Chains A and B, each alone.
Chain A
């Protein structure tokens, strides 16, 4: 079955977020809520929310908001109906009864419940309804959290399950994990156990809020919010709800119930409105000082009062850099805390297989995608050692779970003949199977060494004559070594009679690349190593041009941020296959320079190519310049691939992939499509306005200045940019070639990097991650 229309019932945080994401996938969505006007208000709210649940203004238009009582018949077109109303069985059952009468026959109905068993939900429904019914449990916020837990009942149609799973995977970009119908499914069962375990350990061992988060964060491979910061984020009041429903359904001897305890401080905080970031504060809060500045305060777990947050100093954190086990074995309180939380949480997770899920890879995936852990519990067990964990459990007087016993002396994951194998609950080894159309560079890397590598980049054979260029530098920052490997790659593929046909530029870091290594550049500028900086600029221009002119297709496949130089690489590719969550922009102006690796030239050429086309900008020398100037001078960043397209970073033929895991395969397919009859793009000459255009842009900037929207150095940077984009000393009767534009970029860059104001911007960006307004 095809899913072409969708409906979401319930326009709370989850319902409206799910509707937004269905709209992001391009579907028309009906969003209804029982409170009149609530759905409409939710859509309006989402248009302005940050982070934005919607990927584009067009997506918002795909949502039709309405009221449940009156507009229910509008769900009749929907192939998939998602119920996300209040977490009360009677409310859900009443809604389902109504849905029976209005839904399209054969449409799939799913509930976003996090706690209610499927069997209860379909109690009293028709057989047809039960066959079409399943649980699809999204995580908040639905656009960004990649986990989707799916539970099918005994009577759920296999094709309904397959259709929703496949749709969620390809179109919504979710990592679909098949769960059993048990309380809290996988992620919340283990995740909230972990939270309670960490709270208990912190209280028993006398750790402060900051100390607990300093351990149960990065050192354990968990986001830096740790445990208390996470509670602040999700809301302190959520925890007792989840716990209560778990306690109501789990047997009393389940370790979940055993470790549960009343915590009067939490009750008091919630009662007083300290529900976390959405309330007056939580375990942390931002307090205003007398001078108006803000200070981060942390709650004292003993006294219940706030004091300025302190940076904890525990030796275990340093020791933990050697590994998770070194962390847990460190004798200080941080180490003891880590040990207790790890032993209880990992032991509990091991005991839950196969009760909640048949395979350990599913459990790990759920924790990675649903709680943003770097490693799932079984991957963590491999880090500390299954035998070590079993010993610790025994030492604490616990029972070693059978899965762990069977793993004795072995790892849960192993690489055999280049394939990742996992230990099944019965003790057998089975390959970790990727869905069709999923190609992971991490899997490729297991098969053998790269074709080439240096200190900052690697080149991998991803099959069918396609190579994948991966950045490996810190934060994927671009440096001379990356440029060098690009040179070598171009020579390798371009050489006659070789096996290679195309190149994909892709990596599996959090961000594709946030641009050139600013720290190194600032250091070079501070010691006045101007020659070295200019060499790097020129080398980048030469290499990116060579990439563009290479006799084989190159596809850029970004995910996450592709900023500055990271964006400029993409602009020199023949095509872009972007992950939907790509944030692309030329942000150089933020650090007081202009794009000088061909970014100005490329964006200008792209706009010029579309000038005068239907729906495009007007024809003539000025409109492309003005459009590029606006984008670059304001350092605009697309907050999704769709927005990047609107800004001109993606062209009409460029593709968007919703699922991160499918990006490489899609990019490779795109590259292969272009191989037959490939001819590199011709050099572009442009007609540009010259000094008169620069004056016009100056007036435009002046109007901003008069409105008080610019800072002094903005004017300097904007003028340098205007000079580049208008072609320097040219005039509309001449043409400007690529080399001339690159020379203008280089000169403007070198002029700006020598100014103190630019260096102050760079330094501020490095120190704070934010642009300096000066």
Chain B
């Protein structure tokens, strides 16, 4: 069975030494988040996921979820683990104190989610979706809805979902067919519970939603669905979608879950991976629903969930990369095959040397580590910005931090999940034939990771978001939030003899990124295909440079470490590996961008 140990040293380094998370305690509302508390949380979270969640991962994959008599049963142990998770306070870690949460910084939520994703990605989908639903109600719901639902969701007694997809509409939500009708006078709703009226006008929602993660399960007594549907007078297309809250069971005035609300599970999907996560077809049959947010502005409310969810998916990619790397390194240390090419046997007392003496195996392991640790740095960087956006007293700082988060969200989601899949594949490669055998649990990482490139906006959509929305917004203002600090970082590093070897190649690639950004801005104005056709290459190049800057920051911080230790030396060496061996991929992407859309568009549809 794969092993897992939470990467506490690296996390402490990133939080305390690289990204100044210690200063978060100075922000109003975060006073409790002292360095000591942060360390304590890291340790406790590590222990919890190592001992409670990790052991359930492989069995969960084997058992999967089952649907019988209209209800879904999660794999053995999941329900108990959920209770333990909730009781230990992990679920409400970053939730609003007003509704029972602990109100700790978001960056700690990211840390927790990374660990959970490493240990058990399937399990992590249940709390993940609940947090998304909680945020949407928090930001767009009426006071009555907040009072009724948020405490239950934060407490983990109820859970949440996001219901977007329908059979005919995935990425293009303008095709949504689910619809609501106002509940006519005299219709008592379902339960006849008058108190429900206090929550605002009621509708009856009808439609079918598919691919609903955590759509039904046995972890909580009630499930709160957030559903996209059309009001009767809705304009056609994407501008006619509204967001509704539909509980699986209608709540009683006392807060307990009451009668079923016409939401049934049609079937569950049999998937390539994350078998322990229940993916449902949900049928809504005149279910009582409440409007969340403004009529026809459902997409806006939905994006509240989506943006947070996209970052969370990036964290999932990181989590998989971490556990895959750990197990590849462990195997490469133990597995004895062949002798090293130079300098005689490394372990003369054994029949062969460990795998990790071989250059190509080292290449794979270094690649895995460089992607993983770079991705973690990027996530912590964004997480700290997210907290500044939420709590900083200066509105200008809040705005700028928010712009940085908005810019980096598609990069983090797509780039890190792509790398997560690559790292999971490399783990199989390091394990060789044994990695391909199910019992060893290594191939599960690749299968589980694969969904992260698809859900919450496929990675192609992330690239379009980056070039189509983020790049051009206010003539590139969002870009400023990355490029200006990066340019300053590079200038400082270039002047530092200890970092110049890193700064030089990175500055070159940064220059390429600047060039192609202006190129896309100019060409894309005249022809949207020019921007869209190179969006993938642009996001890749952006991600490579962003991770490069993250590595530069880590190398600089490692250089400040006193006394210099093995950890610092490893960071510096991996940073060099990144600049020399991985970053150059950017040249290929830059060249592909310069070639423009012609190569993609000058191919008739019939020629496929």
Contacts and interface: CB of A to CB of B under 8 A. Distances in A.
Please indicate whether A and B come from the same complex rather than being unrelated chains: yes
Contacts of A646: none
Interface string B464-486: 00000000001111011001101
Contacts of B515: 529
Interface stretch (B77-85, B426-434, B442-450, B517-525): B517-525
Contact of B487 (A519, A528, A759, A767): A528
B474 A523 contact: no
A767 B522 CA distance: 17
Contact of A523 (B484, B486, B487, B521): B521
B514 interface: yes
Contacts of B487: 528, 530
Contact of B518 (A520, A530, A759, A762): A520
Given A528-B514, A532-B518, A523 B483 contact: no
A127 interface: no
A526 B486 contact: no
The residue in A530, A759, A762 that gathers the most chain B C-beta atoms within 10 A of its C-beta is A759
B567 to A, nearest CB: 32
Nearest to A519: B475
Contact of B475 (A528, A529, A532, A763): A763
Nearest to A766: B475
A266 B487 CA distance: 61
Interface residues of A, number: 17
A763 B479 contact: no
A529 B474 contact: no
Contacts of A532: 514, 518
Contact of B486 (A519, A528, A763): A528
Nearest to A529: B514
B477 A527 contact: no
Given A763-B474, A767-B474, A526 B522 contact: no
The residue in A519, A530, A762 that gathers the most chain B C-beta atoms within 10 A of its C-beta is A519
A763 B477 contact: yes
A759 B480 contact: yes
Interface string A519-541: 11011111111101000000000
A579 to B, nearest CB: 30
Given A527-B483, A528-B486, A759-B480, A522 B475 contact: yes
A239 B446 CA distance: 74
B156 to A, nearest CB: 41
Given A520-B522, A759-B480, A527 B514 contact: yes
A528 B521 contact: no
A763 B514 CA distance: 19
A539 to B, nearest CB: 16
B479 A527 contact: yes
Nearest to A762: B475
Interface in B496-539: 513-515, 517-518, 521-522
A522 B521 CA distance: 11
A760 to B, nearest CB: 9
A762 B521 CA distance: 17
B517 to A, nearest CB: 5
A430 B486 CA distance: 66
B238 to A, nearest CB: 12
Contacts of A527: 476, 479-480, 483, 513-514, 517-518
Contacts of B477: 526, 759, 763
Nearest to A518: B475
Majority-rule SS of B interface residues: helix
B523 to A, nearest CB: 12
A524 B518 CA distance: 7
A591 to B, nearest CB: 12
A526 to B, nearest CB: 4
Contacts of B486: 528
B442 to A, nearest CB: 41
Nearest to B237: A313
A164 B479 CA distance: 60
B289 to A, nearest CB: 28
B227 to A, nearest CB: 26
A767 B473 CA distance: 10
Nearest to B486: A528
Contacts of A528: 480, 483-484, 486-487, 514
Interface string A523-566: 11111111010000000000000000000000000000000000
A772 to B, nearest CB: 12
Interface string A500-524: 0000000000000000000110111
A759 B483 CA distance: 14
A530 B510 CA distance: 13
Nearest to A474: B525
Contacts of B514: 527-529, 532
B184 to A, nearest CB: 27
A334 B486 CA distance: 49
B474 to A, nearest CB: 5
A610 to B, nearest CB: 40
A530 B480 CA distance: 12
B527 to A, nearest CB: 14
A527 B483 CA distance: 5
Nearest to A521: B475
The residue in A520, A523, A524, A525 that gathers the most chain B C-beta atoms within 10 A of its C-beta is A523
Nearest to B476: A526
A709 B96 CA distance: 45
Interface in A753-774: 759, 762-763, 766-767
Nearest to A528: B487
B484 A529 contact: no
Contacts of A766: 475
A597 B521 CA distance: 24
Nearest to A531: B511
A759 B396 CA distance: 14
A763 B399 CA distance: 15
Interface in A730-770: 759, 762-763, 766-767
Interface in A92-121: none
Contacts of A523: 475-476, 479, 517-518, 521
B371 to A, nearest CB: 25
B472 to A, nearest CB: 9
The residue in B476, B479, B486, B518 that gathers the most chain A C-beta atoms within 10 A of its C-beta is B476
Nearest to B526: A474
A316 B427 CA distance: 55
A767 B476 CA distance: 12
B463 to A, nearest CB: 18
A522 B476 contact: yes
A525 B513 CA distance: 14
A458 B94 CA distance: 61
A525 B484 CA distance: 9
A765 to B, nearest CB: 10
Interface in B1-31: none
A455 to B, nearest CB: 11
A561 B571 CA distance: 57
A477 to B, nearest CB: 12
A524 B476 CA distance: 9
Contacts of B479: 523, 526-527
The residue in A524, A528, A532 that gathers the most chain B C-beta atoms within 10 A of its C-beta is A528
A529 B484 CA distance: 9
A28 B473 CA distance: 54
Interface string B90-123: 0000000000000000000000000000000000
20 contacts: A519-B475, A520-B518, A520-B521, A522-B476, A523-B476, A523-B517, A523-B518, A526-B483, A526-B484, A527-B476, A527-B517, A528-B480, A528-B484, A528-B486, A529-B515, A529-B518, A530-B487, A763-B477, A766-B475, A767-B475
Given A527-B476, A528-B486, A763-B477, 18 more contacts: A520-B518, A520-B522, A522-B475, A522-B476, A523-B518, A526-B483, A526-B484, A527-B479, A527-B483, A527-B518, A528-B483, A528-B484, A528-B487, A529-B515, A529-B518, A532-B514, A759-B477, A759-B480
Closest 8 CB pairs of A and B: A526-B476, A528-B487, A526-B480, A528-B483, A527-B483, A523-B476, A522-B475, A529-B514
